Amino acid sequence: MRVLFAAPDAYWPIWAPILTGLAPEMELVRDADPASIDAIIHAPNGPISDLSPYVNARLVQSLWAGVERIVTNPTLTQPLARMVDPGLARGMAEYCTGWALRAHLRMDAYAQDGTWRNDLTPPLADARQVTILGMGELGRGVAAILGGIGFRVTGFSASGRAVPGVEVFGPGGLDRALAGAEILIALLPDTPQTRGLLDADRLALLPRGAWLINPGRGTVLDDDALLAALDRGHLAHAVLDVFRTEPLPPDHPFWSHPRVTVTPHVAAETRVETAAPVAIENLRRAMTGQPVLHLVDRRKGY
């Protein structure tokens, strides 16, 4: 099979040796007659935006978990698969667990100023509710680790699909999910339904003193409403890894706000060692007529 590697130049020396080592039957190319291409490995920041010439491609395999930058491309007629990478899921779970524990244990309360603050003992994890917005592959992975620590984990899912050990609120249950969220983790995709979802009214539903952790998509959050909720003390802190504009402009108020921690979109990276086997498995499935894994539902946008 001839596979077009449509990703930035910097990806090639990292990905090509591993991909070709896993699939010696594959001819991996960076340029060729579009009609000769059987499948495309794609990164949204790569060199190709017009997919219409690739009339014989049986699959576009994204290297990113988020597909909002390609799913709306009008030239995309081929099946599209998003990247569901066990390493990416594990990285997201570790990021969310670390920041959730920081919030839960009130680590920031112990200033190193000579004051003995032994009245700040946190409750045990089973007395703390963590709510996860988005119970897909990433959300379920985060829930598994936090539940294993002992947190009371609830979730919100547009599908309402059951998750073992987690109380899942389905459509119509978002407000109830937010009302008990002492620590809120947002892992929602970027869709028309999720953009601006966490506005002033919904942030006001969170318990006073709640923490917000957003490593999902920056578009889910109303930036001004978040700053207002932090300024009036309704929310204690926000940990933000994703933003409407990236890199986050140096003059953005998030950088200087004392109750905001900015991380530079590092919560979950696609790791070639764990992602390459996923891509190869899907390419082989597409070439042999087997069901492709993690196909994107274009109506939903993910």
Concatenating the DSSP letter of every residue in 28-67 gives: EESS--GGG-SEEEE-TTSS----TT-TT---EEESSS--
User: Chain centroid to CA 35: how far?
Assistant: 34
256 and 197 in one domain?
yes
> Does residue 36 lie within any of the structural domains?
yes
pLDDT surpassing 90 at residue 291: yes
Cis ω for the linkage preceding 247 (within 30 of 0): yes
> Does residue 298 lie within any of the structural domains?
no
The string over 75-96, giving b where at least 16 C-beta atoms fall within 10 Å of a residue's C-beta and e elsewhere, is ebebbbbbbbbebbbbbbbebb
> Does residue 217 lie within any of the structural domains?
yes
Query: Over the stretch 157-189, which tens digit does the pLDDT of each residue have?
Result: 999 999 999 999 999 999 999 999 999 999 999
Number of domains comprising the chain: 2
91 and 54 in one domain?
no
Q: Which domain covers residue 143, as residue numbers? A: 87-262
147 and 51 in one domain?
no
Among 91, 94, 87, CA closest to 273? 87
275 and 234 in one domain?
no
9 and 140 in one domain?
no
> Does residue 177 lie within any of the structural domains?
yes
Say how many C-beta atoms besides its own lie within 10 A of residue 31's C-beta.
9
Query: Over the stretch 78-92, which tens digit does the pLDDT of each residue have?
Result: 999 999 999 999 999
> Does residue 279 lie within any of the structural domains?
yes
150 and 96 in one domain?
yes
78 and 93 in one domain?
no
Question: How would residue 120 be classed by pLDDT, with cut points 50, 70 and 90?
Answer: confident
Q: What is the pLDDT of residue 301?
A: 87
153 and 43 in one domain?
no
Catalytic residue among 104, 140, 217, 294: 217
> Does residue 302 lie within any of the structural domains?
no
> In residues, how long is the chain?
302
68 and 133 in one domain?
no
Query: Over the stretch 219-275, which tens digit does the pLDDT of each residue have?
Result: 999 999 999 999 999 999 999 999 999 999 999 999 999 999 999 999 988 999 999
Please state whether 93 falls in left (phi above 0), alpha (psi between -120 and 50) or beta: alpha
> Does residue 300 lie within any of the structural domains?
no
> Does residue 242 lie within any of the structural domains?
yes
Is 298 an active-site residue? Answer: no
Catalytic residue among 195, 259, 265, 284: 265
* pTM of the complete model: 0.92
The answer to whether 147 and 166 are in contact (CB under 8 A) is: yes
229 and 108 in one domain?
yes
214 and 194 in one domain?
yes
Q: What is the pLDDT of residue 269?
A: 87
Is 234 an active-site residue? Answer: no
Q: What is the CATH number of the domain that holds 227?
A: 3.40.50.720
